[in-house]
Amino acid sequence: MNVADLPEGLKYLPGYLDRPAQESLVELVRQAVAVAPLYLPVMPVTGTPMSVRMTNLGPLGWVTDKERGYRYQATHPVTGNLWPAIPEALLSLWDAVANYPAPPQACLVNFYADDARMGLHQDKDETDLAAPVVSISLGNTCLFRVGGLERRDPTRSFKLTSGDVVVLGGASRLCFHGVDRIYPNTSTVLKNGGRINLTLRRVD
């Protein structure tokens, strides 16, 4: 994969977080999941479950269900409680890489078991599309795929490893993307395997 082939506005920062920084983020995620448990999101209309489990941090969280579909809301769909705050370490990471004058409003936490994947999709449930999405990978390596603005556009694949950060700004913000597979036993950051992806977002 040649970095010159990446979409305009996609900034790939391999190894941005060192091992201690990765470990402390994992601990913060553990603490958050203890009060805002991972849940299994389902597709709108059909109710088909996804394979990635999710929770959120921050004033707004991305949720989906059969009846009401994809949306952002202030409360956890199972507990009904407000989402936990976005930790300071993630707010300062955003400040360092996002080049955006306001803080993130949502941090979506995706947990991939080693057999989970995420189909090709666009992130367009946010009103503020001028703000980038910042993605942080922890745990096992994944094969990530990014295409263009149309589903049929050609795609490029690259691996995201623990500690990598990707900033999706500019034209890349609306590119189709997905996670084709997780490579088991490629990291020791998560004791029981799998992969965590954190995405920091502006919503409105």
- Residues forming the site for ligand MD3 (CB under 6 A): 108, 110, 118, 123, 133, 135, 146, 166, 168, 172-173, 175, 177, 179, 197, 199
Q: Which does 166 bind (CB under 5 to 8 A by kind): ligand MD3, Fe ion, none?
A: ligand MD3
**CA 172 to CA 194: how far, in whole Å?**
26
Cβ at position 123, least distance to Fe ion in Å: 4
DSSP line for 121-190: E-----S--SS-EEEEEEES-EEEEE--SSTTS--EEEEE-TT-EEEE-GGGGG--EEEEEE-TTS-SSS
123 is an interface residue for Fe ion by CB under 5 A: yes
Stretch that binds Fe ion, among 6-14, 66-74, 121-129, 182-190 (CB under 5 A): 121-129
Quick one: 28 or 198, whose CB is closer to ligand MD3? 198
Cβ at position 175, least distance to ligand MD3 in Å: 4
**C-beta atoms surrounding 77 within 10 Å:** 16
164 is an interface residue for Fe ion by CB under 5 A: no
Quick one: 168 or 189, whose CB is closer to Fe ion? 168
The partner residues of 167 in beta bridges, in order of sequence, read 11, 134
Stretch that binds Fe ion, among 6-14, 38-46, 55-63, 120-128 (CB under 5 A): 120-128
Cβ at position 195, least distance to ligand MD3 in Å: 8
**C-beta atoms surrounding 87 within 10 Å:** 19
- Which among 122, 15, 13, 108 is positioned nearest to 59, based on CA atoms? 108
Q: Which does 196 bind (CB under 5 to 8 A by kind): Fe ion, ligand MD3, none?
A: none
Reported as half-sphere exposure (CB side, CA atoms, 13 A), residue 6 has a value of: 17
Number of residues that bind Fe ion (CB under 5 A): 1
- Which among 83, 166, 170 is positioned nearest to 129, based on CA atoms? 170
Quick one: 75 or 122, whose CB is closer to ligand MD3? 122
**Residues 2-61 close enough to bind Fe ion by CB under 5 A:** none
Q: Which does 173 bind (CB under 5 to 8 A by kind): Fe ion, ligand MD3, none?
A: ligand MD3
**CA 183 to CA 119: how far, in whole Å?**
16
Binding residues vs Fe ion (CB under 5 A):
123
